[in-house]
Amino acid sequence: MKEKNDVWQGTLALMVLKTLDAMGSQHGYGIARRIEQISADRLAVNQGTLYPVLLKLEQEGSISAKWGVSENNRKAKFYILTKAGRKQLESETQHWLETAEHIDMQTEDNIRLGMSREEVRRAAILKFGGVESMKERYRDQRGLPQLETLAQDLRFAVRALAKRPSFVVVAILSLGIGIGVNATVFTWFKAVYLNPLPGVREARKLITISAAYKNAGAGYSNSYADLLYFRAHSHLFTSLFGHEMQMLALSDGKYAEMTTASSAAGSN
């Protein structure tokens, strides 16, 4: 029975892109089985490692995904190589050729040091693994990683929303209703509390003066004589005016209707 080896870190993404390029649309399990078959079952693809790689490639725009039915009539997500993915495949392939060349040179150095055949290549891969991790960290920091990550997230969000147009419609309607309600409430609050009397400066400083009698309580109206008295003797107010509410009957000659009206005396 052949012993299976784990896929070397950093090569799984390249294998996924190569598999989709050769086989076309595939689901995750099909991709894993294809990699294992091509390696004559010498490689073992960990499902827990594969799906984060697929998600990362999808966020980067290298692959796209859609739900479909597998060969055993089960719902599965199928992955397809995109145009950007083909460009990435060419770049990753070139990088892998360079990596393989470095591993071969390190293997030859290990042979000259007297290592056994079983140890030389493993030692070369382990040594180059540290260099590869450093290269990946350098690539992550090159450019503007925050903006690149934001752009990837936006592209992924747009693709996800495009697949669910009904959700987009509901979200837009909800946002529209929410914005409309907030605008209406703010307009009402501004009209009632911030600017209750349009055209009147400092309307919040307006006060009403009403009469209060010792035995009858408050709520009685002032007379016109009171207004004249306050105007002559009070220095607390910048100006004073009087008004009176009246019930009037409006008629067009045929029908009449009771209404409320107010008469006002000009301010001093």
Residue 207, pLDDT above cutoff 70: yes
The residues pairing with 26 across neighbouring beta strands, listed in sequence order, are: 79
- The percentage of the chain sitting over the pLDDT mark of 70, rounded to a whole number, equals 76
Q: Tell me what pLDDT residue 174 has.
A: 92
Higher confidence at residue 103 or residue 83?
A: 83
SS3 of 262, please? Answer: strand
Higher confidence at residue 4 or residue 40?
A: 40
Residue 96, pLDDT above cutoff 60: yes
Report pLDDT digits (tens) over 24-68: 999 988 898 888 888 777 777 877 788 888 888 888 888 999 988
The count of other CB atoms within 10 Å of the CB of residue 156 is 15
Nearest-angstrom CA–CA distance, 63 and 26:
11
Residue 1, pLDDT above cutoff 50: no
Nearest-angstrom CA–CA distance, 84 and 229:
87
Residue 244 CA, distance from chain mean position: 58
